[in-house]
A and B are shown apart, each in its own frame.
Chain A
Amino acid sequence: MMTDDIEKIIDDWGSETFFKGDGIDEEHLEEGIAWLYSSGLESRPHVLILDSPLACQIELNRMEKKGLQKYLSSAASPEAWQRIKSFMFSFSGTEAWCNTLPVVKTAQSIARLCALDRLITGNIQDAVTKRTIRFHKFSDDNLLNRFSKIVFYDFMCRSVLAARERSTSRKVQGHAGGINIHYLKHYMDFLRTGCFLSLFFQGLALISRRPKRVRFDGSGRLHADGEAAIEWRDGWKLFYLNGVLVPEEVAVTPAAQLDPGVILREGNVEVRREIVRKIGIERLIQKLGGKVVDSWKGYELITLDIPGMGTKPTYLKMRNPSIGTYHVEGVPPRITTCREALSWRVGGLKWNPKQLT
């Protein structure tokens, strides 16, 4: 098992999470949950499959309103969950664990998937909180949550099994004995049934389906201009441009129809950047009434007054002398003249070109 293998495993779990659609193998899912609970000495829970993470959160809030707070708060069953974990994951320090760690750490795409994992779970939490309902933390080690752990377990499982196949010596088999392969495989089979996120309580397990559709750009960032980038069966959607969660209006409205004033209402700098990218800075300046603060030899220094921004975004407007088109480039807001801006563009050199095309 080498670095190439880990990349395949990462691809496999990425595909499992985002490209398998929203189907669920209910029979095996319930079996898997019953097995998990029995490992924690808990009785088989009632399993509720819901169409999205939001639907899970709404259901829990509804249960709270019906006076089931005690049931939910006491039912998190941390002791049981701890028992499950210690039973399954008590391999820290084994040779297999030590061999696996550096391989997973150096895998190129794991960082991207972990970042994606953190982004989506964080965005789900924000979206739930915005609806002024209480957010319940999803249980640990789900398909989306803790991506790196799942890849780690899978790689370690396969490494140990491959070592077993290569050697019949007692030594290798003894090392394998430090890891409960049966449990890990069982757990991964459970994840492959279609569970996206879960919330485990005593007597109740809430499961969210995977998204119906997920869209990425060529760089692996969540991205869909004109539609949702993540869409669940119940119609809940998240909108992303170039990996940034944006309001629906920004994502779905065609650039030419998007009101530049939307940037004035947006407080997040990354979302603002995506709005600028979509609308185009030229149109933004034109629509928002940029103020020309200096002019020199056809150049214009323009500032924008955007409420809530500590500084005024400043741009140098210039003409391409070869083809006659105009464009603008940002310069630091401390700059107050075109000549300063031109010098800053070329690293502080004096602006006196002998040829300019």
Chain B
Amino acid sequence: MIVQGDVFFVRIQNIPGESKKVTRDERGFIIAEGEATGHAHVIHDDIELYEKDSVLFIKTEKTVEVRHEEHHPVTLDPGIWKVGIVREYDPFLEEIRMVKD
């Protein structure tokens, strides 16, 4: 597992079937974006990014770097990675939600 703030990457074997390809925008491949701050976890290198049921999957043939404004970069080795978002619990609402910094 590789962790960058509220985003973590877990190596898997295959991209799930029926995943849809996600295109790069002008900032690069956006892996996760904060609602309040506008900060984003971004990959500038060429990768293949897929999405299924709101979960992202990264396929890369070379080592790539994930960047974020408030965290040092992390590197992903060649392979397939599932992107996870850290969750937190709100004891006042008694509900679980995804952390979005």
> Which A residues fall within an 8 A CB radius of B?
269-270, 272-273, 276, 309, 311, 313-314, 320-323, 329-333, 344-347, 349-357
- What range describes how many residues of B lie at the interface? 20 to 34
Q: State whether B87 touches A353 (Cβ < 8 A).
A: no
* 7 chain-A/chain-B pairs, Cβ below 8 angstroms: A270-B93, A320-B70, A321-B72, A329-B99, A351-B1, A354-B1, A356-B2
Chain A residues near B96 (CB-CB < 8 A)? 332
| Known contacts A345-B87, A346-B1, A346-B8: A357-B93 contact under CB 8 Å | no
| Known contacts A273-B93, A320-B5, A349-B10: A329-B71 contact under CB 8 Å | no
Majority secondary structure of chain A interface residues (helix, strand, loop or mixed): loop
Tell me, rounded to whole Å, the shortest Cβ–Cβ distance linking A16 to chain B. Answer: 32
Q: State whether B89 touches A355 (Cβ < 8 A).
A: no
| Known contacts A322-B72, A353-B3: A331-B89 contact under CB 8 Å | yes
A357 to B3, CA, bound (A): 6
Chain B residues near A350 (CB-CB < 8 A)? 1
- Across the interface, A353 reaches (CB within 8 A) one of B2, B70, B89, B91, namely B2
- Across the interface, B71 reaches (CB within 8 A) one of A273, A320, A332, namely A320
**Is B73's beta carbon under 8 Å from chain A?**
yes
Tell me, rounded to whole Å, the shortest Cβ–Cβ distance linking B60 to chain A. Answer: 15
User: Which B-chain residue is minimally distant from A275 (CB atoms)?
Assistant: B92
Chain B residues near A333 (CB-CB < 8 A)? 91
- Across the interface, A330 reaches (CB within 8 A) one of B3, B8, B91, namely B91
Q: State whether B70 touches A355 (Cβ < 8 A).
A: no
A350 to B4, CA, bound (A): 16
Chain B residues near A331 (CB-CB < 8 A)? 88-89
Interface residues of B in 74-92 (CB under 8 A from A): 74-75, 84, 86-92
Q: State whether B86 touches A346 (Cβ < 8 A).
A: yes
Chain A residues near B73 (CB-CB < 8 A)? 357
Q: State whether A329 touches B2 (Cβ < 8 A).
A: no
Chain B residues near A276 (CB-CB < 8 A)? 92
Chain A residues near B3 (CB-CB < 8 A)? 346, 353, 355-357
Q: State whether A353 touches B93 (Cβ < 8 A).
A: no
A3 to B4, CA, bound (A): 44
Q: State whether B92 touches A345 (Cβ < 8 A).
A: no
Tell me, rounded to whole Å, the shortest Cβ–Cβ distance linking A125 to chain B. Answer: 24
- Across the interface, A345 reaches (CB within 8 A) one of B70, B88, B91, namely B88
**Apart from A314-B91, A320-B71, 19 more pairs, CB < 8 Å:** A269-B93, A269-B94, A272-B92, A273-B92, A309-B91, A320-B5, A329-B86, A330-B90, A331-B89, A332-B96, A333-B91, A345-B87, A345-B99, A346-B84, A347-B84, A350-B1, A353-B1, A355-B4, A357-B3
Q: State whether B87 touches A347 (Cβ < 8 A).
A: yes
Q: State whether B92 touches A355 (Cβ < 8 A).
A: no
Tell me, rounded to whole Å, the shortest Cβ–Cβ distance linking B77 to chain A. Answer: 10
Chain A residues near B8 (CB-CB < 8 A)? 346, 353
A322 to B39, CA, bound (A): 15
Q: Which 3 A-B pairs have the closest CB atoms?
A: A313-B91, A357-B72, A329-B88
User: Which A-chain residue is minimally distant from B74 (CB atoms)?
Assistant: A355
A349 to B85, CA, bound (A): 12
